[in-house]
């Protein structure tokens, strides 16, 4: 049973090769699916924006040799995106709120092999 305020819809992404049915656990929980058509990115703008950010900010600048390396890159990018990266919706602050520091010298912390940097006072 879903608690009040819980989302009751899930977006399912169909591909040209397969359209998998919604899992039975979702149906039993009262969650409906909203399948998207193959090759129609305008149907889910949130996911397309996230994928675009991942590509522009990391994958377009790296050469990936295997799946394990790709998983490490995506894990590090997710940590960067959810903790350190500034967001316009948060008034250009990071999700992990940090107080402005006024004293100390400025140091740079390299993120994703130097693609991004976080500047802190030490």
- What pLDDT, on a 0 to 100 scale, did the predictor assign at position 74? 92
Question: Does residue 52 belong to any structural domain of this protein?
Answer: no
Residue partners of 103: CB distance under 8 A and separation at least 6: 121
Residue 118: which domain range?
62-122
- What pLDDT, on a 0 to 100 scale, did the predictor assign at position 109? 87
Question: Does residue 56 belong to any structural domain of this protein?
Answer: no
What is the separation of C-alpha 68 from the centre of its chain, rounded to a whole number of angstroms? Answer: 18
67 and 122 part of one domain = yes
CA distance 93 to 76: 19
- The helix-helix angle for 45-57 and 67-83 (nearest 10°) equals 110
Question: Does residue 48 belong to any structural domain of this protein?
Answer: no
84 exposure class (CB count in 10 Å sphere: 0-12, 13-18, 19+): middle
Tens-binned pLDDT, residue by residue, of the chain (122 aa): 455 555 555 555 555 555 556 567 666 777 666 677 777 777 778 788 888 889 998 899 889 999 999 999 999 988 888 888 878 778 877 777 777 778 889 999 888 888 888 888 88
35 and 75 part of one domain = no
73 and 115 part of one domain = yes
pTM: 0.59
Which H or E element spans position 71?
helix 67-83
């Amino acid at each position: 049973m879903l608690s009040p305020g819980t989302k009751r819809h899930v977006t399912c992404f169909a591909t040209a090769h397969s359209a998998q049915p919604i899992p039975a656990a979702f149906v039993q929980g009262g969650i409906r699916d909203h399948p998207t058509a193959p090759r129609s990115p305008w149907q889910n703008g949130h996911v397309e924006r996230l994928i675009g950010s991942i590509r522009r900010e990391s994958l377009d600048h790296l050469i990936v040799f295997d799946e394990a390396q790709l998983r490490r890159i995506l894990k590090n990018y997710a940590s960067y995106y959810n903790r350190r990266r500034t967001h316009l919706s948060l008034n250009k602050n990071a999700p992990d709120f940090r107080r402005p520091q006024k004293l100390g010298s400025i140091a740079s912390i390299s993120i994703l092999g130097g693609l991004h940097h976080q500047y802190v006072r030490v």
